[in-house]
Amino acid sequence: LKELDEALVFFSEQLSNYNPQALADWKKVLWEGTSHWDNLLKERAGITGRLVLSEFTKNAISKFKK
């Protein structure tokens, strides 16, 4: 955990030296095309739930319990 904190501080210090407008534009680029994620995440959660409750998955998990 200490290493993670140190890396985060280092990264934050690097970002603080970048051009603020460039960072704002970069953020726009990175988030472009993500407006549908709310629906996508709900759909994917439904798929995950269905799969985890399937007989195949239940059988696979039961093998680990033995």
The pLDDT tens digits of the residues spanning 11-54 come to: 999 999 999 999 999 999 999 999 999 999 999 999 999 999 99
Question: Do the beta carbons of residue 51 and residue 57 sit within 8 Å?
Answer: yes
pLDDT score recorded for residue 19: 97
Checking if the pLDDT of 66 tops 90, the result is no
pLDDT score recorded for residue 65: 84
Instruction: At 30, list the tokens.
Output: 């990175």
